[in-house]
Amino acid sequence: MALLKAKIVVVPLGEVDFTIVNRLATEVGPVFDRSVDILKGMKMPEESFNVIRGQYYARVVLSKLERAKANQREKVIAVCEDDLYLPDENYVIGYGDHLPGVAVVSLFQIRQEFYGLPEDESKVYDRLYKEVIHQLGYVFKVNSCRNSRCVHYDTSNMMEIDQKARKLCDICSRQLTGKA
């Protein structure tokens, strides 16, 4: 009997628009050929908050998510509205790690109002989607991509995210199917 593929679990961390979460849960499954569940009721972990920076430490968020996993094989993608950071970065939009099989993406830096521009919900979702696919790419052990059109290309701000496509390039897709 073929081993059932592990699920992807979408976790809204704190107050996150449920329309966005639902849409994301529907759209990420086919990309990775997995079924998707939504896990509700998790808050931003208090212990990840850095009072001096006023931001949440992404690595601590990941370890909290790892402990919330129902089983080892499950892959977790969390979405939050709070600003995330890593010690060497002013901020991160997303952060994922294949070893614990978890990733987190923040809407904070991909909202236009952050740059003093009027909000555009459709663009916000598009950016979130791309960043989620990118971070899940890492969770599924797809190597960093050098094709700037590929959704798995490293980007550090919303303008760069807007410039890449929604799809994985052929090289990334092949890595994904090879490891599925």
Of 150, 158, 161, 176, the one binding Zn ion (CB under 5 A) is 150
Burial class (CB in 10 A: 0-12, 13-18, 19+), 6: middle
CB contact at 8 A, 20 and 88 = no
Binding flag, residue 164, Zn ion (CB under 5 A): no
Binding flag, residue 152, Zn ion (CB under 5 A): yes
Q: How far is the CB of 137 from Zn ion (least distance, A)?
A: 8
Binding flag, residue 124, Zn ion (CB under 5 A): no
Binding flag, residue 75, Zn ion (CB under 5 A): no
CB contact at 8 A, 93 and 80 = no
Cβ proximity to Zn ion, 107 vs 168, nearer residue: 168
Report H helices in the chain: 18-32, 58-67, 121-139, 158-163, 170-179
Of 80, 92, 145, 158, the one binding Zn ion (CB under 5 A) is 145
Q: Is 43 left (phi over 0), alpha (psi -120 to 50) or beta?
A: beta
Cβ proximity to Zn ion, 16 vs 103, nearer residue: 103
User: What are the residues binding Zn ion (CB under 5 A)?
Assistant: 145, 147, 150, 152, 169, 172
